[in-house]
Structure 1
Amino acid sequence: MELIKCSIDNCNLKNNGLVATIGQFDGIHIAHQILIEKVCELSEEKDLKSAVITFDPHPDLVLKKDANATSIMTLDEKAALIASMGIDYLIVVEFNQNVANMTDSEFVNQFLIKLNVKEIVVGFDFCFGKNGIGKAETISKLANGKINTTIIDNKTYQNEKIGTAMIKKMLLQGNVSLANKLLGRYYKISGEVKKGNQVGSTINLPTANIEIGENDAKIKLGVYASRILIDGNYYYGFSNYGNNPSFNKRDHFILETNIFNFDGNLYGKYITIELIDFIRDERCFNSKDEFLAQIAKDKEVAMAICQKEFK
């Protein structure tokens, strides 16, 4: 897959025609995957190249709809997953006020037509152009028939639209198992292992600590069963997201992970933690003994969850 970063008025790509889909694709959940799979299907059927068109930075940040807009995945993670699905091009368009001010007709004729899009696949609620005036069903008409449009129906879970907002809500509520189901994979957090206060080492509970970025989706404070990817190898463990209220309470939140059957120095190493299921809320303990007794229970629960999940 080729990654192309461009502005809306200077997106040069030599091609014989594209089958494309457009959107933020944050999380690339199971509804997104249907769109991308349809693009690949039409690409093969029409003998055209396939493309996913997305925007960076997030439109909500530029339009100031949400100054604290968060993302389920980084652009690099998004690119890697889209590449694995067989797409030829990921086109990342710089989103700015010029893009926001384009009319629906300008977006179609000055961008999609110039990009040589022949077929477009979008969701039922796709909108574009200033104030979202353009709708999925108007694309072909605005393009004077030069673009064929395939509209994918609404995908729901228990009568609620499957979407990024729903998954973020599940993560914040601690319903990781449902978030994973809607993502079609485990929700993961990657980062560089930082040195913590090293309390864990004094109680035979060493942890790998990584920070969750301010632009990353928020998760519920508490303990999770987890799977950890280190240098291409998977390990099981359990993770706590919080500020360590029982010992040397911090003024910020950290994801601390105890990794089963691992003995090594991870400081400065980049690791990935997959959250498998939520175990319990974060608690403040009255004594070290009370804390250690609960940790032993957490470890037992986490091991059982991982053994069942990956048997």
Structure 2
Amino acid sequence: MKTIRIKHPHAKIDFPEMVIALGFFDGVHKGHKEVILTAKKEAMKRQLKCGVMTFFPHPKEVLRKEKKVNYLTSLNKKEELMFQLEIDYLIIIEFNEDFSDLNPQQFVDRYLIDFNIKHVVAGFDYSYGRLGKGTMETLPFHSRNKLTYTIVGKVEENGEKISSTSIRKALSVGNLDKVTNFLGRYYETDGVVVEGEQRGRQIGFPTANIASTNQTFIPDNGVYIVKIQINNQWLPAVCNVGYKPTFHDKNKMDLTIEVHILNYSKDIYGQKVKIQWIQKMRNEVKFESVNDLVNQLKKDVFNAKYFFQTSE
């Protein structure tokens, strides 16, 4: 797979004739995969290359001037998942104000026809061009019938549309079973190990304090069964997301992500890590005493160990 990063306005780029899947693809969930795999089938049928065209940053950050959008997949993770789907080209367009000003006709001319695209695949609700006024139904008009297209319908699970929005909602309440089901894999976030308060070590449960990176969406506050990747090795762990209410006033604390790695004692300060979110065990609560907290942490570790022993 070749990854091509493009900033508008771009210089001429020579692409082979290609079928392209269009979308933002945040999460690369089952619905997104259906679009991409449909593009692959169309490319094989036509004996053409297959590509995916996506955009970064999220249009909301540019058009609504929102300071931050929390993504389901970092750009690196998105690229990794596209590679696993075995496409030929990943085209990443830098979404900026100039690009957002392109009308539908200009987008089709400069980013589809000029890129040697012959067939377009997108979801039923995909739109393009300024204010999203271009749709798949208008594509023949804007391409002067130079392009054909395939629309992929809703992909549903138990009557609910699989979407990035529904996955965010599930993460916001800690429903990891639904998240895993909609993604077709465990949810992952990136981070780096930073120095914390050392409080976990003092009570017999040392933790790695993780500073989240890449603007990834963090699940709801609570205690989770997770895996953490250190030096390309996945290790079983328990993770607490929240404000440590037993020790702090929530209103005076920043959100913390603390991971207790099972049967592990190495120094990993400064290391880049990934967290794989598997199952929520309980909500974060304020305990009456440190003793009560320690007793609960023992139960959490026992439950996590039992989970890993019986599921692998």
Distance 2:174 2:11 in 1: 41
Offset of residue 198 of structure 1 = 0.6
2:165 paired residue number: 165
Deviations 1:262-285 (A, max 9, x none): 221111111111110111111111
2:221 paired residue number: 221
Alignment check: 8 A CA contact 2:192 2:213 kept: no
Deviations 1:277-297 (A, max 9, x none): 111111111111100111111
Distance 2:8 2:192 in 1: 34
Of the structure 1 ranges 81-90 and 3-12, higher mean CA displacement relative to structure 2 is found in 3-12
Deviations 1:162-184 (A, max 9, x none): 11111000000110111111111
For normalisation by structure 1, the TM-score amounts to 0.94
Alignment check: 8 A CA contact 1:127 1:133 kept: yes
Alignment check: 8 A CA contact 2:25 2:32 kept: yes
Offset of residue 46 of structure 1 = 2.0
Distance 2:268 2:233 in 1: 14
Offset of residue 37 of structure 1 = 1.3
Indicate the percent of aligned positions where both proteins have the same amino acid: 32
Of the structure 1 ranges 210-219 and 123-132, higher mean CA displacement relative to structure 2 is found in 210-219
Deviations 1:229-260 (A, max 9, x none): 22122221110001212235662111111111
Aligned length: 310
2:14 paired residue number: 14
2:144 paired residue number: 144
The alignment's C-alpha RMSD in Å is: 1.8
Alignment check: 8 A CA contact 1:8 1:111 kept: no
Offset of residue 214 of structure 1 = 8.3
1:112 paired residue number: 112
Q: Specify the code of the residue in structure 2 equivalent to 1:260.
A: L
Offset of residue 57 of structure 1 = 1.5
1:5 paired residue number: 5
Alignment check: 8 A CA contact 1:9 1:111 kept: no
1:135 paired residue number: 135
Distance 2:7 2:48 in 1: 23
1:86 paired residue number: 86
- 1:264-279 equivalences under 5 Å are 264-279=266-281
Alignment check: 8 A CA contact 2:193 2:273 kept: yes
Alignment check: 8 A CA contact 2:189 2:218 kept: no
For normalisation by structure 2, the TM-score amounts to 0.94
Alignment check: 8 A CA contact 2:190 2:213 kept: no
Unaligned 5+ runs, structure 2: none
Tell me the secondary structure at the aligned position of residue 266 of structure 1. Answer: coil
Of the structure 1 ranges 198-207 and 36-45, higher mean CA displacement relative to structure 2 is found in 36-45
Deviations 1:30-63 (A, max 9, x none): 1101111122222233222221111112101111
- 1:32-43 equivalences under 5 Å are 32-43=32-43
2:69 paired residue number: 69
Alignment check: 8 A CA contact 2:190 2:214 kept: no
Offset of residue 92 of structure 1 = 1.1
Distance 2:217 2:50 in 1: 29
2:290 paired residue number: 288
Distance 1:214 1:267 in 2: 19
In the superposition, relative to structure 1, how do residues 308 and 120 fare at CA in structure 2: closer, same or farther (>3 Å)?
farther
Offset of residue 147 of structure 1 = 1.2
Unaligned 5+ runs, structure 1: none
2:305 paired residue number: 303
